C-alpha cells in the first residue's frame, strides 16, 4: 500500500492548481486506494505516467474513461471507469408500467435502438404467452435487420476513423442515413424508434416506406462495398488490425462475450439460431464465423453479416403475409406473475432481459444483459503491452455502446 | 484649405466625416512636403536612403525576398485549405463549403479571419515564453525554406550555392517548434505529440536528405536554380525519370515530414486529441495550422524542383519554333514581327476570345443554373483578370517568368492535390510501423540509390566518354 499518496490533496481542491501545478502529473486518483488491485494499478514505476483517455476523448465511443498507465507509448495497464451515462434504467423500468419500459429501454443501444426496445416486449410476451400476429413478426424482423445494417455500416466507419481514415465514416453515415430515413417513415423517429409494442408493432408498413425500401434494396450495400474497397486490402489498415487484439475461444467464452467478437473466435453462437425467436426459424441465412479472433476478423465479420441481413430482408419482403399487426390486448395490461428470460441478437451480441412479474401492471424486476458491457471486459487483457494507438483499433473493433454499458 | 481647418458643422454625414478627415491628412502632408522641399532636408534624406540602400543592396534584397515569401505563403495556404475542403468533400459524398464566395472559395479566408478573432488563451501551468514562441518558430521555419526555391527563371528569393542544405536546415527547425509546443503545453497529449514529432521527423529527415543525394550527384551542385536549369528541355531530362526510386522515397519521406496522412502521427486526432496543438487556441493555433499547409506546399515545390523539372514545362520549344520558321532564341521583348509569319502573328489575337469561350463553357457546364449569357459575361471577366495578371508578370519580369510561374504552380498544386487525396484515402500508420518503415526500408533504399547513381556516374565517365 502506498502511504505517500495520502498526502496528495484532492484535485477538486481549487488551490492545488494555483500552488502546485506539478502535482497534476501524478495525482490520479487523489484518494487512498480502495482495493489491492487499485493500489497496484495506481502505483507508478520509473518512467511511467497516467493518461486519462476520456470521458471527452474523441475516440472512446461515448463517455468511457480509460485510465492508461503508459511507459512512453506502450500501455502497461489500464483501468476502464464507467458510469458517466448511468440513469438506472432497470429501476426506471420497474417504476413505470410495461408499456413505458419500451421507451425507457430505447436509449440503451442508441445506435440500434430497435433491439433494446424489444427487451420488455419479448419478455412480456413470454409471460403473457401471447401469439403475435405473423405480419407483425415479419415487420419486426424487417426493422431489426435494417437497423443491424445501419449499425454495422457505422461500425466500419468508426473503426476506420479511429485508425485515422476520414472517408469511410461518411460512407457509413450515408448508408445509415438512408436506412434511418426509411425507419423514420415507418416509425416516426430517426434514432429512438419506440415502435415495437407488446403484442405487435405500432402501425403497419406504409407505401412510402415500401417504395423507399424497394429503391434502397436495388442498390443496398453500395456504400458498404465502397468502404470495403477502401479498407479490405489497404496495406496500412490490414497492418494495423491484423493480429491485433487476438482473442481465443476460451477467453471470449470466459468473459461471457457474444456477437461478432465471439463469432470471430470461431464460436458460431447467434441467438437467432441458437435460441430462435420471432420468425427467424423460417428464414434462410448463415452465421458467418471467423477463426482468427483479431480486429481484422471482427471487421470482416461485420461486412459478411451485412450481406446476410440483406438476404433476410429480401426473404421477408417476399414472404410477408397479410393480416393485423397488433394482437388484441386489454388497455390496462396486467402481466401474469412469473419469470421470463428473453434474448435477441443485437448487432453487438446477445441482448437479453430477465423479467419478474408480480401480476401488477409494472415489472417487479427487470434485469438487462447488455452485450457491450461483456465485450468491453476484454479490453484490458487485449491491450496490455500494445501501443497507445492500438487501444483505438481494439476498442473500435469490440464496438461498445456506452448507453447500454452504463445503463 | 479653409474647409479642412474649420470644424465640421453639425449634421455632417458619415461619408462627409471620412472625406473631411482625408482632406485634412492630404493638406497636412502637402504642407510637410513643401516644408521639406524648401529647406532641403528632404533631398538630404532621400540621398541618404539611396546611399544606404546601394551600400547594403544584398541585405535589402534578402529582407524584401523574405517579406515577399512570407506574404506569398498566406494566399498559398488559403488555396491549399480550400482545395482540401473541396476535394475531401467530393470524396466523402459531401458538398463542401459553398456559402462564402463563389463555390465557397472564401471559406478558408473566413476560417483564417475566425481564427484571428478568437481568444488567444494561455492555460495555467504552461511555460509561457516557450509556449508563446513555439508557433512562431514552426511557422517561420517552414516559411523561410521557401526563400531558395526558384519559381521561374530569375525569380527566386535568394540564389544560394548551398540552397539545398539551407532548405533542410531551415525545415529541420520546424520540429523544434513542435517539441517546444509539446513540452511547454503542460498536457500529456501535447507531450506525446511533441515526442512523436521529434522521434519521427528525425527518422524521416534522413531518407529525405539521402534521396536528394542522387540528384546532387547528377547535377553536381547544391544550388536549386542550377538543378532546375539542368532539367531544361524535354521531359525525360527531369531527374524524376533518372531517379525514380529517389522520387518515391522523397515523396514518402516528405509526407512524413509534413505530418500528413498516413503519417499524421503528431496531431493524431483519434489518439492524441490534437497532439502538440491541444492547448493552443486563436491565432497561435492558426500558425500551426498555417505551417502545416505551407509545409505541404513547400515540400511539393521542392519535389517539383528536384525531380519534376521545376519551372520547365517538359516541352522543348526550340525545335518546334524552328519547324515553324522562327529563329531561336526568341527575344520576346524586342521580337522581329516580320519573322513570325501571318499565322503565328494571328495566334495571339485568338487568345482572348478563345479563353473567354473556354471559361464560359466550363462555367456553363458546371453551374446548371447559369444561362449562356451569364456564363459568357463571367467568363469574359475571368479571362480579363487572368490575362491582366499574365501581362503584368510579363511586363515586370519576362515571358519566361510568366510561363515558368504557370508551369511551376501547376505542377506544385498537382502534387498538393495528391497529398490531399492521400489524406482522404489512408488510415494512419502506427508509430512503430512507421519507424520500421523508415529505418528498414527507406534508409537502405536511399543508400542503395546513392550507390547505384555514383557507380553509374563513374562508369559513364570512365568508359563511355
Where are the domains positioned within chain A? 4-81, 89-406
- Cα(B16)–Cα(A27) distance, integer angstroms: 65
* Range with lowest mean pLDDT among A63-67, A145-149, B345-349, B386-390: B345-349
- Cα(B160)–Cα(B456) distance, integer angstroms: 28
A25 CB neighbours in chain B (<8 A) are 188
Backbone φ, ψ for residue A49 (5° rounding): -150, 160
DSSP A284: -
Contact B429 A236 (CB under 8 A): yes
Model ipTM value? 0.78
Name the pairing type of β-strands A200-201 and A196-197.
antiparallel
A18 CB neighbours in chain B (<8 A) are 124
Contact B93 A24 (CB under 8 A): no
Of A24, A167, A387, the CB nearest to B425: A167
DSSP notation for B446-465: HHHHHHHHHHHHHHIIIII-
CB of A21 less than 8 A from some CB of B: yes
Helices (H), A63-220: 89-95, 98-105, 113-116, 118-128, 134-162, 168-187, 207-217
**pLDDT digits over B299-324, tens only?**
898 899 888 888 888 777 777 777 77
Q: What is the mean pLDDT of residues A52-81?
A: 82
Q: How many Å lie between the alpha carbon of A168 and the closest alpha carbon of chain B? A: 8
A65 CB neighbours in chain B (<8 A) are none
- Cα(B87)–Cα(B265) distance, integer angstroms: 22
Measured between CA atoms, the residue of chain A closest to residue B94 is A170
Q: How many Å lie between the alpha carbon of A214 and the closest alpha carbon of chain B? A: 22
pLDDT of residue B92: 86
Q: How many Å lie between the alpha carbon of B428 and the closest alpha carbon of chain A? A: 5
CB of A167 less than 8 A from some CB of B: yes
Q: What is the mean pLDDT of residues B189-202?
A: 84
Of A18, A167, A392, the CB nearest to B92: A167
- Better-predicted residue by pLDDT, A24 or B315: B315
Most A CBs within 10 A among B430, B432, B440, hence the mutation to make, goes to B430
Q: What is the mean pLDDT of residues B53-69?
A: 79
Q: What Cα–Cα distance (Å) separates residue B379 from each residue in A39, B354, B415?
A: 73, 10, 27
Measured between CA atoms, the residue of chain B closest to residue A49 is B188
Residue labelled with grid coordinates 448508408: A175
pLDDT over 60 (residue A20):
no
CB of B269 less than 8 A from some CB of A: yes
- Cα(A220)–Cα(A215) distance, integer angstroms: 9
A230 CB neighbours in chain B (<8 A) are 425
Q: Are B208 and B439 in contact (CB under 8 A)?
A: no
* Range with lowest mean pLDDT among A82-91, A359-368, B308-317, B335-344: B335-344
% of chain A surpassing 70 pLDDT:
92
B262 CB neighbours in chain A (<8 A) are 164, 236
pLDDT over 80 (residue B367):
no
pLDDT of residue A49: 83
pLDDT of residue B120: 83
Closest by CA to A156, choosing from A256, A225, A207, is: A225
Contact B428 A165 (CB under 8 A): yes
Of A17, A49, A236, the CB nearest to B427: A236
pLDDT over 80 (residue B272):
no
% of chain B surpassing 70 pLDDT:
93
pLDDT over 60 (residue B62):
yes
- Cα(A207)–Cα(A185) distance, integer angstroms: 10
Q: What is the mean pLDDT of residues A38-43?
A: 78
Q: What is the mean pLDDT of residues B109-136?
A: 85
CB of A156 less than 8 A from some CB of B: no
pLDDT of residue B23: 93
Measured between CA atoms, the residue of chain B closest to residue A57 is B273
Q: How many Å lie between the alpha carbon of B4 and the closest alpha carbon of chain A? A: 57
Angle at A386 between CA A86 and CA B187, to 5 degrees: 65
In whole angstroms, what separates CA A51 from the centre of its chain? 25
pLDDT over 60 (residue B351):
yes
Q: Is A103 exposed, middle or buried (0-12, 13-18, 19+ CB in 10 A)?
A: middle
DSSP A184: H
pLDDT over 70 (residue B330):
no
- Cα(B263)–Cα(B260) distance, integer angstroms: 5
List of residues 6+ apart from B381 with CB closer than 8 A: none
In whole angstroms, what separates CA A201 from the centre of its chain? 23
- Better-predicted residue by pLDDT, A23 or B181: B181
Cell for B300? Answer: 511539393
Rg for chain B, CA atoms, rounded: 27
A227 CB neighbours in chain B (<8 A) are none
pLDDT band per the 50, 70, 90 thresholds, residue A1: very low
Measured N-to-C along each axis, helices B341-366 and B372-396 cross at an angle, to the nearest 10 degrees, of: 130
pLDDT over 50 (residue B430):
yes
Q: What Cα–Cα distance (Å) separates residue B30 from each residue in B1, B5, B38?
A: 11, 14, 12
CATH 1.10.3720.10 correct for A89-406: no
Residues 106..145 of B with a Cβ closer than 8 Å to A: which?
Answer: 124-125
Contact B427 A237 (CB under 8 A): yes
- Cis status, amide bond into A368, omega within 30 of 0: no
Contact B264 A164 (CB under 8 A): yes
- Cis status, amide bond into A237, omega within 30 of 0: no
pLDDT of residue B383: 87
Of A17, A73, A390, the CB nearest to B124: A17
pLDDT of residue A146: 92
Q: How many Å lie between the alpha carbon of B131 and the closest alpha carbon of chain A? A: 16
Cell for A205? Answer: 408498413
B425 CB neighbours in chain A (<8 A) are 165, 167, 230
What's the mean per-residue pLDDT of chain B? Answer: 83
Measured between CA atoms, the residue of chain B closest to residue A396 is B270
- Cα(A356)–Cα(A123) distance, integer angstroms: 9
A162 CB neighbours in chain B (<8 A) are 270
In whole angstroms, what separates CA B287 from the centre of its chain? 15
CA terminus-to-terminus distance, chain B: 81
Beta bridge partners of A338: A357
B272 CB neighbours in chain A (<8 A) are 388
Backbone φ, ψ for residue B79 (5° rounding): -65, -40
List of residues 6+ apart from B218 with CB closer than 8 A: B230, B239, B242, B243, B453, B457
pLDDT over 50 (residue A2):
no
Q: How many Å lie between the alpha carbon of A175 and the closest alpha carbon of chain B? A: 11
pLDDT over 90 (residue B345):
no
Identify the three-state secondary structure at position B260. Answer: coil
pLDDT of residue B25: 93
Q: How many Å lie between the alpha carbon of A130 and the closest alpha carbon of chain B? A: 46
Residue labelled with grid coordinates 427487451: A119
Q: How many Å lie between the alpha carbon of B329 and the closest alpha carbon of chain A? A: 51
pLDDT band per the 50, 70, 90 thresholds, residue A14: low
In whole angstroms, what separates CA A320 from the centre of its chain? 28
Q: Are B448 and B211 in contact (CB under 8 A)?
A: no
Q: What is the mean pLDDT of residues B212-221?
A: 88
Most A CBs within 10 A among B90, B427, B429, B440, hence the mutation to make, goes to B427
- Better-predicted residue by pLDDT, A41 or A250: A250
pLDDT of residue A81: 83
Sheet with A338-346, strands from edge to edge, namely: A338-346, A349-357, A363-369
Q: Is B13 exposed, middle or buried (0-12, 13-18, 19+ CB in 10 A)?
A: exposed
Contact A21 B124 (CB under 8 A): yes
pLDDT of residue B1: 47
DSSP notation for A367-405: EEE-HHHHHHTTHHHHHTTSBHHHHHHHHHHH---HHHH
Of B93, B428, B431, the CB nearest to A163: B428
CA atoms within 13 A on the CB side of B127: 15
CA terminus-to-terminus distance, chain A: 33
- Cα(A379)–Cα(A60) distance, integer angstroms: 12
pLDDT of residue A6: 47
- Cα(A395)–Cα(A65) distance, integer angstroms: 12
**pTM of the predicted model as reported, rounded to 2 decimal places:** 0.79
- Cα(A259)–Cα(A302) distance, integer angstroms: 10
Of A165, A171, A387, the CB nearest to B427: A165
Of A49, A57, A171, the CB nearest to B93: A171
Question: How many pairs of residues across A and B have Cβ atoms under 8 Å apart?
Answer: 90
DSSP notation for A209-256: HHHHHHHHHTTTTHHHHHHHHHHTT-HHHHHHHTTSS---HHHHHHHT
Q: What is the mean pLDDT of residues B203-229?
A: 87
B270 CB neighbours in chain A (<8 A) are 58-59, 161-164, 392
**pLDDT digits over A86-108, tens only?**
888 999 999 988 888 999 998 88
Contact B192 A73 (CB under 8 A): yes
Measured between CA atoms, the residue of chain A closest to residue B437 is A236
pLDDT band per the 50, 70, 90 thresholds, residue A3: very low
CB of A27 less than 8 A from some CB of B: no
Backbone φ, ψ for residue B155 (5° rounding): -115, 80
Q: Residue B93 is inside which H or E element, if any? A: none
pLDDT over 70 (residue B333):
no
Measured between CA atoms, the residue of chain B closest to residue A21 is B125
- Cα(A347)–Cα(A259) distance, integer angstroms: 7
pLDDT over 80 (residue B443):
yes
Contact B124 A57 (CB under 8 A): no
- Cα(B249)–Cα(B450) distance, integer angstroms: 12
Beta bridge partners of A363: A357
Q: What is the mean pLDDT of residues B143-159?
A: 79
Amino acid at each position: 500500500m502506498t502511504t505517500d499518496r495520502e498526502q496528495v490533496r484532492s484535485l477538486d481542491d481549487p488551490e492545488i492548481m494555483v500552488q502546485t501545478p506539478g502535482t497534476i502529473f501524478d495525482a490520479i486518483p487523489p484518494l487512498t486506494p480502495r482495493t489491492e488491485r487499485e493500489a497496484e494499478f495506481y502505483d507508478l514505476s520509473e518512467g511511467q505516467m497516467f493518461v486519462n483517455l476520456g470521458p471527452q476523448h474523441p475516440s472512446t465511443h461515448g463517455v468511457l474513461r480509460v485510465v492508461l498507465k503508459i511507459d512512453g507509448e506502450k500501455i502497461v495497464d489500464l483501468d476502464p471507469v464507467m458510469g458517466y451515462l448511468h440513469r438506472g434504467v432497470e429501476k426506471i423500468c420497474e417504476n413505470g408500467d410495461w408499456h413505458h419500459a419500451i421507451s425507457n429501454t430505447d436509449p440503451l443501444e442508441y445506435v440500434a435502438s430497435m433491439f433494446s426496445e424489444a427487451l420488455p416486449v419479448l419478455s412480456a410476451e413470454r409471460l403473457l404467452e401471447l401469439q403475435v400476429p405473423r405480419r407483425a413478426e415479419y415487420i419486426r424482423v424487417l426493422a431489426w435487420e435494417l437497423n443491424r445494417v445501419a449499425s454495422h455500416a457505422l461500425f466500419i466507419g468508426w473503426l476506420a476513423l479511429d485508425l485515422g481514415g476520414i472517408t469511410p465514416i461518411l460512407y457509413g453515415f450515408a448508408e445509415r442515413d438512408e436506412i434511418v430515413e426509411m425507419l423514420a417513415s415507418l416509425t416516426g423517429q430517426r434514432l429512438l424508434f419506440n415502435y415495437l409494442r407488446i403484442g405487435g408493432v405500432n402501425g403497419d408498413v406504409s407505401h412510402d416506406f415500401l417504395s423507399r425500401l424497394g429503391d434502397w434494396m436495388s442498390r443496398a450495400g453500395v456504400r458498404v462495398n465502397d468502404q470495403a474497397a477502401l479498407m479490405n486490402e489497404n496495406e496500412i489498415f490490414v497492418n494495423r488490425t491484423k493480429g491485433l487484439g487476438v482473442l481465443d475461444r476460451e477467453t471470449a467464452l470466459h468473459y461471457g462475450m457474444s456477437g461478432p467478437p465471439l463469432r470471430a473466435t470461431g464460436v458460431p453462437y447467434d441467438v437467432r439460431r441458437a435460441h430462435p425467436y420471432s420468425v427467424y426459424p423460417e428464414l434462410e441465412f448463415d452465421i458467418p464465423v471467423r477463426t482468427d479472433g483479431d480486429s481484422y476478423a471482427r471487421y470482416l465479420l461485420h461486412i459478411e453479416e451485412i450481406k446476410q441481413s440483406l438476404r433476410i430482408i429480401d426473404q421477408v419482403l417476399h414472404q410477408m403475409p397479410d393480416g393485423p399487426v397488433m394482437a388484441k390486448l386489454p388497455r390496462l395490461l396486467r402481466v401474469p406473475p412469473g419469470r421470463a428470460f428473453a434474448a435477441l441478437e443485437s448487432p453487438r451480441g446477445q441482448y437479453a432481459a430477465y423479467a419478474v412479474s408480480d401480476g401488477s401492471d409494472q415489472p417487479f424486476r427487470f434485469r438487462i444483459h447488455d452485450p457491450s458491457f461483456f465485450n468491453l471486459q476484454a479490453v484490458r487483457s487485449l491491450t496490455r503491452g500494445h501501443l497507445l494507438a492500438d487501444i483505438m483499433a481494439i476498442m473500435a473493433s469490440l464496438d461498445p455502446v456506452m448507453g447500454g454499458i452504463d445503463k | 484649405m479653409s474647409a479642412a481647418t474649420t470644424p465640421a458643422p453639425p449634421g455632417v454625414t458619415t461619408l462627409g466625416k471620412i472625406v473631411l478627415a482625408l482632406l485634412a491628412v492630404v493638406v497636412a502632408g502637402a504642407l510637410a512636403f513643401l516644408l521639406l522641399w524648401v529647406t532641403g532636408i528632404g533631398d538630404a534624406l532621400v540621398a541618404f536612403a539611396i546611399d544606404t540602400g546601394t551600400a547594403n543592396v544584398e541585405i535589402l534584397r534578402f529582407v524584401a525576398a523574405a517579406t515577399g515569401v512570407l506574404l506569398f505563403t498566406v494566399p498559398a495556404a488559403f488555396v491549399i485549405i480550400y482545395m482540401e475542403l473541396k476535394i475531401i468533400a467530393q470524396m466523402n459524398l459531401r458538398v463542401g463549403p459553398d456559402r462564402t464566395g463563389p463555390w465557397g472559395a472564401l471559406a478558408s479566408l473566413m476560417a483564417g479571419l475566425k481564427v484571428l478573432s478568437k481568444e488567444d488563451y494561455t492555460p495555467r501551468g504552461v511555460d509561457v515564453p516557450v509556449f508563446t514562441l513555439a508557433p512562431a518558430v514552426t511557422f517561420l521555419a517552414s516559411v523561410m525554406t521557401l526563400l531558395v526555391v526558384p519559381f521561374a527563371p530569375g525569380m527566386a528569393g535568394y540564389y544560394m550555392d548551398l540552397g539545398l542544405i539551407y532548405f533542410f536546415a531551415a525545415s529541420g527547425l520546424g520540429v523544434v517548434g513542435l517539441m517546444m509546443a509539446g513540452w511547454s503545453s503542460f498536457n500529456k497529449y501535447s507531450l506525446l505529440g511533441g515526442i512523436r514529432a521529434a522521434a519521427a521527423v528525425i527518422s524521416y529527415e534522413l531518407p529525405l536528405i539521402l534521396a536528394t543525394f542522387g540528384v546532387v550527384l547528377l547535377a553536381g551542385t547544391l544550388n536549386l536554380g542550377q538543378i532546375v536549369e539542368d532539367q531544361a528541355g524535354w521531359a525525360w531530362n527531369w531527374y524524376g525519370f533518372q531517379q525514380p526510386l529517389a522520387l518515391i522515397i522523397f515523396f514518402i519521406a516528405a509526407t512524413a515530414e509534413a505530418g500528413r496522412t498516413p503519417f499524421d502521427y503528431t496531431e493524431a486526432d483519434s489518439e492524441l486529441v490534437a497532439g502538440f496543438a491541444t492547448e493552443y487556441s486563436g491565432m497561435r493555433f492558426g500558425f500551426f495550422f498555417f505551417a502545416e499547409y505551407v509545409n505541404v506546399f513547400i515540400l511539393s515545390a521542392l519535389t517539383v524542383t528536384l525531380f519534376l523539372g521545376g519551372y520547365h514545362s517538359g516541352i522543348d520549344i526550340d525545335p518546334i519554333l524552328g519547324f515553324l520558321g522562327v529563329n531561336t532564341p526568341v527575344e520576346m521583348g524586342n521580337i522581329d514581327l516580320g519573322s513570325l509569319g501571318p499565322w503565328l502573328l494571328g495566334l495571339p489575337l485568338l487568345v482572348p476570345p478563345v479563353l473567354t469561350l473556354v471559361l464560359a463553357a466550363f462555367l456553363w457546364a458546371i453551374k446548371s443554373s447559369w444561362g449562356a449569357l451569364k456564363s459568357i459575361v463571367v467568363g469574359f471577366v475571368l479571362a480579363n483578370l487572368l490575362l491582366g495578371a499574365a501581362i503584368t508578370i510579363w511586363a515586370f519580369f519576362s515571358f519566361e517568368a510568366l510561363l515558368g510561374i504557370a508551369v511551376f504552380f501547376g505542377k506544385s498544386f498537382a502534387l498538393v492535390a495528391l497529398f490531399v487525396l492521400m489524406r482522404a484515402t489512408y488510415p494512419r500508420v502506427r508509430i512503430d510501423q512507421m519507424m520500421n518503415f523508415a529505418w528498414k526500408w527507406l534508409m537502405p533504399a536511399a543508400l542503395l540509390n546513392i550507390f547505384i547513381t555514383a557507380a553509374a556516374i563513374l562508369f559513364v565517365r570512365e568508359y563511355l566518354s
